[in-house]
Amino acid sequence: MRYRFLISWRWLGVTAVAAVLIATCVWLGMWQHDRYEHRAATNDRIAAASQDNAAPLETILAVGEQPATDEVWSIVTVTGEFDSTGQVLIRNRSVDGQTGYEVVTPLIMDTGEAVLVDRGWVPASDQGAMALPEVPAPPTGVVEITGRVRASESQLSELNQVDGINQARTINTDQIAETVAYELVGGYITDTDPGEGLVAIPVREEKSWQNFAYAYQWWLFALMIPIGLVMLARREAKVEETTPTGGDTGEAVGEPVAARG
């Protein structure tokens, strides 16, 4: 039988490895496609929010609750007074390739609750890594802020003080809430119109097309593996057909050795 070698242990092993590789490529393709859909949905929400009118903050954010996925990036308005004593600098944040700090300040509303407002970005000091930059003070008195809703960053980081100024690496609402005497609503907002000396936090669209391309790349690999396996099997079958068997020496069976020559 031409392809009898396929049931050999060697080929059974090759086939098993190929099956594992195919399954892995299919899974990786599905994972990348899921990431593509997630990022594409984020881009859609950003675009949709830019077209919507600003909503009152209390209709979206509440104490003890994170904003729903479809509410992140919504534009809201809120009125209150900034509490500069609760301000936190979020270090190691980049804008246009330059490292700096995001300035997060609680805004106390008339309900007594507060929302964290990312007032904008400032570049790092040129006096060295340990030196803090000059940060514009928040406006005094009652102000109205328009901003984009963001979910609290889940990763915790050490919240410490340098020269009496709070610092952290992430904007984690629950962690910052432990440092103030009032309740914070879940999530935070980024000011769309920061004051002088602050740079607005850019809205970066997700590069969903990369994940889309990676997904089909993995699925193409999954398709190429069985094709390569078939080509390898056909090649081996052809080699076996053209190779003489070990017992075929071209001599007459039973011919005495002495009679030769």
Question: What confidence tier does 111 reach under pLDDT thresholds 50, 70, 90?
Answer: very high
Residue type, 145: I
CA 81 to chain centre: 34
Cβ contacts of residue 124 below 8 Å, gap of 6+?
A: 98, 99, 100, 101, 133
> pLDDT digits over 210-248, tens only?
788 889 899 999 999 989 888 888 887 777 667 665 544
Report which listed range, 48-62, 103-117, 141-155, 186-200, is most confident.
103-117
Nearest by Cα to 3 from 230, 245, 246, 244 = 230
Structure tokens at 155: 């990763």
SS3 per residue for 148-210: EEECCCCCCCCCEEECCEEEECCCCHHHHHCCCCCCEEEEEEEECCCCCCCECCCCCCCCHHH
Yes or no: say if 57 and 74 are a contact pair by the CB < 8 Å rule.
Answer: no
Structure tokens at 148: 């984009």
Mean pLDDT rounded to a whole number for the chain: 84
| pLDDT, mean of residues 14-29 | 92
- Please provide residue 153's backbone torsions phi and psi, each rounded to the nearest 5 degrees: -75, 125
> pLDDT digits over 26-85, tens only?
999 999 988 888 777 777 777 776 667 788 999 999 998 899 888 888 999 999 999 999
Q: Is the pTM of this model over 0.75?
A: no
